[in-house]
Amino acid sequence: MGFGMRDSIERLRAKLKYVWSLRACESIIGWDQLVMMPAGGGGVRAEQKAALSEAAHSALIDDSFRKALDEAEETVCNLPEDSDDRCLVRAARWHFERARALPTTLVKELAHATGLAYPAWVEARKNKDFTSFVPYLEKVYKLSREAAHCYGFKEHVYDALLEGYEPGMTASKVSSLFSELKRPLVELVASITSSGKQPSVDLLEQDFAVNIQRRFVEQLAPMIGFDMTRGRIDLSVHPFCSASSSRDVRLTLRYCSRNLPSAVFGLLHEAGHGMYEQGSPSRFDGTPLKGGCSLGIHESQSRLWENHVGRSREFWEYHYPRLQAIFPYQLQGYSIDEFYKAINKVRPSFIRVEADEVTYCLHILLRFEIECKLLEGALEVTDIPEVWNSLMEEYLGIVPPDDAAGCLQDVHWSEGLIGYFPTYCLGSLAAAQIWEKASTEIEHLGEYIARGDYEPLRSWLAQNIYCHGAKFFPEELMVRSTGRPLEVRPFLQYLQRKFSDIYAI
Ligand code: ZN
């Protein structure tokens, strides 16, 4: 490569570094707001965040950025498609096109509408009163539809919004995956709920002192491979993972004495996200190639640790005796078998975030159907509760007592996050497919896990997933790491095997 060619990539890299440094600062003050900031700081913090985000946005859509991008594009066109530089330029183009697609007026209108919709949603949920939320949600949907048209799409208006969370994915691909999933899942739930063998969850419904839970969980993080020299764990109302670079990855958790699984599986989930971020090569820091390749793939990493590792019997063969030792009064009388079945209890429930592994995706299928119809204009916002409740009955056999336990439960729509939900279910599918592949390539994986040795799994993930950062679209990453595009079979097989054993069906 000639001298001038190198220069054009370095020019683009410098511009990207500026934008991604601002974004990193935004993520740190966002973390601070949820973890450290005194309550009074809210108004000023919103202005600070807006200033950083505006600076990053205008640097990204600036003419000088476009010029650097055009030049770098010419330079890399003869490089191999999977070279770092070519992937970097492709990612920069993607971010540039997304950023400049929306006119500033629409961005402001959306920010204004969601700024009003969020408190209206909080109020409506508190009062179980969907009607009061309708005008706000109508506005958010109207503006989101406009945004979708600005982004552009080939097939379905939904694609334009989904692209922002899961690049390359389309509504029609999601539809076909979900329709393959629907019947087997509904049938599995039905045979589980009618099984005569229902595990008892009594052992979990006890008090587990929060300080002891916390010590256990904070020891667990480095044991599974979360690097505490490049990460930390704090408290927040809702658990999350935030990474400003591969060297600064922060997890948050919440503890409740009556809910031990919430902290344990919350840690495994967030540490799964965190290890993905820490495993992203440091040469990608300060560029759009840092971190994970999409929300769905990110979610696959959290669910892999939470469910495939954390809810397996092998995992608890090592950790249950440790747990019994610190909670002797609560757990001494219960066998590992009883514990394993209790943490894998399947029960149709109203609230998505509390759903088990089997019913979870059905909550997502329902939201996806509703979002598509709303965007197409085939459904009015006022009709959401009715459709929601009838789909809940069809999929899970239960009807929410009110809208707070139904269509008002999630924050997403009030924040304008439309097209986001499918990534949760895509994450479960990808987790099962990646797990299946890892299990065939790592001999005796289960035995390693039963001994508390996670190194073979982590290095497999590092070599097949982490090392790529955000270089590839999710579909390509799946093909590279598992040999196939995303499928539903591994997920269904995993569930059927595991739960037919637990429920004797
Ligand atoms: Zn997650």
- Find residue 234's DSSP bridge partners: 252
Whether residue 283 is predicted with pLDDT greater than 90 in this model: the reply is yes
For the chain, give the mean pLDDT: 96
| Confidence tier at 46 by pLDDT (50, 70, 90) | confident
| Confidence tier at 43 by pLDDT (50, 70, 90) | confident
Whether residue 39 is predicted with pLDDT greater than 90 in this model: the reply is no
Whether residue 148 is predicted with pLDDT greater than 90 in this model: the reply is yes
- Find residue 251's DSSP bridge partners: 233, 241
Mean pLDDT of 102-124: 93
- Residue 119's pLDDT is what? 92
CA–centroid distance, residue 140 to ligand 1 (Å): 24
- Residue 206's pLDDT is what? 98
Characterize 145-163 residue by residue with b for buried, 16 or more Cβ atoms within 10 angstroms of its Cβ, and e for exposed: bebbeebebeebbbbbbbb
In terms of residues, how long is the chain?
505
- Specify whether the CB–CB gap between 290 and 284 falls below 8 A: yes
Whether residue 426 is predicted with pLDDT greater than 70 in this model: the reply is yes
Whether residue 236 is predicted with pLDDT greater than 60 in this model: the reply is yes
Mean pLDDT of 187-201: 96
- Specify whether the CB–CB gap between 457 and 445 falls below 8 A: yes
Nearest-angstrom CA–CA distance, 413 and 382: 14
- 253 secondary structure, DSSP code: E
| Confidence tier at 42 by pLDDT (50, 70, 90) | confident
- Specify whether the CB–CB gap between 12 and 76 falls below 8 A: no
CA–centroid distance, residue 395 to ligand 1 (Å): 23
Whether residue 1 is predicted with pLDDT greater than 60 in this model: the reply is no
Q: Which long-range contacts (CB under 8 A, 24 or more apart) does 449-455 make?
A: 449/309, 449/312, 449/314, 449/315, 449/318, 450/314, 450/315, 450/317, 450/318, 451/318, 452/223, 452/318, 452/319, 454/223, 454/224, 454/225, 454/309, 455/225
Report which residue type is found at 320.
Y
Token couple for 17: 């570094």
- Residue 6's pLDDT is what? 78
Token couple for 82: 């999977």
User: How is the chain split among helix, strand and coil, in percent rounded to 5?
Assistant: 70, 5, 30
- Residue 326's pLDDT is what? 98
CA–centroid distance, residue 221 to ligand 1 (Å): 16
Q: How far is CA 489 from the centre of its chain?
A: 21
CA–centroid distance, residue 295 to ligand 1 (Å): 8
Token couple for 6: 């190198």
Nearest-angstrom CA–CA distance, 126 and 123: 5
Look at residue 116 and give its three-state secondary structure: helix
- Residue 4's pLDDT is what? 65
Q: What distances in angstroms separate CA 4 from CA 7, 206, 334, one per listed residue?
A: 5, 68, 69
Nearest-angstrom CA–CA distance, 51 and 48: 5
Q: Is the pTM of this model over 0.85?
A: yes
Whether residue 56 is predicted with pLDDT greater than 90 in this model: the reply is yes
Whether residue 459 is predicted with pLDDT greater than 60 in this model: the reply is yes
Residue corresponding to tokens 């683009």: 12
Mean pLDDT of 408-435: 97
DSSP run (H or E) holding 234: strand 231-235
**pLDDT 10s digits, 471-493:** 999 999 999 999 999 999 999 99
CA–centroid distance, residue 352 to ligand 1 (Å): 13
Token couple for 412: 């997403």
In terms of Cα–Cα distance, which of 155, 13, 134, 17 is closest to 85?
13
Catalytic sites, residue numbers: 270
- Residue 3's pLDDT is what? 54
In terms of Cα–Cα distance, which of 353, 364, 363, 341 is closest to 498?
341
Whether residue 411 is predicted with pLDDT greater than 80 in this model: the reply is yes
**pLDDT 10s digits, 160-182:** 999 999 999 999 999 999 999 99
**pLDDT 10s digits, 318-369:** 999 999 999 999 999 999 999 999 999 999 999 999 999 999 999 999 999 9
| Confidence tier at 2 by pLDDT (50, 70, 90) | low
- Specify whether the CB–CB gap between 272 and 306 falls below 8 A: yes
Report which residue type is found at 376.
E
CA–centroid distance, residue 301 to ligand 1 (Å): 8
Return the CA Rg of the chain: 23
- Specify whether the CB–CB gap between 279 and 467 falls below 8 A: yes
